[in-house]
Structure 1
């Protein structure tokens, strides 16, 4: 993979590629762009190539379906709000919004629908699987740890499901980039979930496979220098970057249809879908590279996650995962810098 900078603006019909640093635009850019769209196949899963060997989650149809279910869970869990997409007090007059780690682009697309006057940019390491986007919704492939080339400052920067994306230094760098590229008074918001599977009534046996998942996968992530405790560190990291008026909301996202409340039961069903579709991808790269006492085989990973799926499907197991939303403001009197 070339070390030259590649920035792809994703047009669902055209797939426009732009790269001012490459002399032979037609041949070299198209070649690199094609490689980005193809990705790399490992253990039967497709991964992005923009930051090769540096991101653990697949970018394939199954993983995008998991993200779609996760998007729905987040919406149901904040379904009592007029706007379940974010809690930062964003004005309808906002002009520029950035969605980092846009994944399948659903959050950016939905926000573009409710804020049609704003330009919504969604950026990730792999092209989202979209066939249509609203006007003023722009989905891009780029590495946010590189220099930002957007000319405008943003009114709002959003992140979601980014655990394990960066090491501690990279997170600090990213939060500072967000701070410097926000308008004075602009907001940042991040929603993350915990890798641990829990229950409050001991219906999840301690010797179950599901009970081992959290510590197993967090251990792999730490050995990969991509710690997955973002849910616990993001508030302090956001404050460290200079943000003020920090607020948060904690959740328990049920896994499976066990809750009695109709809406929470719906969230549980959707969250089981997210886990059922996503868990193999969450574990495959990490376990086959950083598993203990030695790297696991693909077959071992598949057998492990199959057992966890079966345990989570039982209505006798009242399992959930923790999630947290944090939002904060850039001070009005600090213009920041590029």
Structure 2
């Protein structure tokens, strides 16, 4: 990540107008199965496949959030020929897996890019998609259960999976990724921090935005699933046996305050990402693990309203950190060489 602050656009933008549209894409679905209905709590719908509680909703508003996050990542890599991933899988991959596919937009885009590949998107809740490329398959499944896909993958992708697993489960996921990749295949993961930051002092110390990240991370820690994947995934991937571990760091601005056109566009979309996502990111955590005692739904609504009001202040130049990590499964000759070196060292 460039350590230089993002240059601020001196013009201020009102919270109504082209940078803050009233209607940021919406989609609905009505399917009768119990999996599609999910579990309703505090006005939000949660997955019902995994037999345990899950901190992020699986409803239309959250799918809208996933789509906005996807666009932020695309915009900030828009100068690349392939903004979807950085793993060098070549021009003819055969099998690609998207874990935690959400609405499936990444899997659909990659399937369009590689029409001869089979691209699978997997999540705990059926995405509201009415059409997809013939080579794209969106499946409802739990990645912690036994993987039954027959063909190994050229690439396994994950994005914004914080809070999905506890530490032992993360180790299990990385091992399964390793075991289900072809020799020389790639794993790639993108995560963003929940902590809101500011480089130029424009965000007052008393702002509620300053407390949001640390507080939600404390609640998640009490739940047993920390929100620190952005800082742990590189070491965890290396520990799982992957080599050629690469990292790319980003600043995701929140709002159209940057001067640079690309950052301004990303900030505009990320503003919508936060507006649609905040309630879902914190509702379950605060009503279950808030302190000094669990919050009520109404208290969460008031908290989120205060957050939204501050996010709409164009004088606050805020952003969040993000990181992309990609790494390769070693080939058999590399493993043999590594084993030989270990034997030599032991002598």
TM over 0.5: yes
| Deviation string, structure 1 residues 264-288 (Cα, Å, up to 9, x no partner) | 1010010000000000000000000
The 10-residue stretch of structure 1 (308-317 or 241-250) with the greater mean CA deviation from structure 2: 308-317
2:150 is the counterpart of 1:161: no
- Counterpart in the other structure of 1:214: 213
2:54 is the counterpart of 1:55: yes
The 3-state SS of whatever aligns with 1:249 is strand
| Deviation string, structure 1 residues 176-209 (Cα, Å, up to 9, x no partner) | 0000000000000000000100000111112111
* CA pair 315-110 structure 1, distance change in 2 beyond 3 A: same
Map 1:283-298; keep pairs closer than 5 Å: 283-298=282-297
- Counterpart in the other structure of 2:112: 113
- What number of residue pairs does the alignment pair up? 306
Map 1:262-281; keep pairs closer than 5 Å: 262-281=261-280
Q: Which consecutive residues of structure 1, in runs of 5 or more, have no partner in the other structure? A: 1-14, 16-32
2:305 is the counterpart of 1:313: no
Asked if the contact 1:184/1:335 (under 8 Å) is kept, the reply is no
For the residues of structure 2 that align with 1:98 and 1:118, how far apart are their CA atoms?
11
- Counterpart in the other structure of 2:67: 68
| TM value normalised by structure 1 | 0.89
- Stretches (4+) displaced over 4 A: none
| Deviation string, structure 1 residues 9-42 (Cα, Å, up to 9, x no partner) | xxxxxx9xxxxxxxxxxxxxxxxx8111100100
Map 1:1-338; keep pairs closer than 5 Å: 34-333=33-332
CA RMSD between the two structures: 1.5
- Counterpart in the other structure of 1:10: none
| TM value normalised by structure 2 | 0.86
- Counterpart in the other structure of 2:344: none
For the residues of structure 2 that align with 1:90 and 1:270, how far apart are their CA atoms?
29
Asked if the contact 1:108/1:121 (under 8 Å) is kept, the reply is yes
Q: Which consecutive residues of structure 2, in runs of 5 or more, have no partner in the other structure? A: 1-30, 336-347
Query: Higher RCO, 1 or 2 (CA under 8 Å, sep at least 6)?
Result: 2
Asked if the contact 1:184/1:334 (under 8 Å) is kept, the reply is no
For the residues of structure 2 that align with 1:236 and 1:44, how far apart are their CA atoms?
38
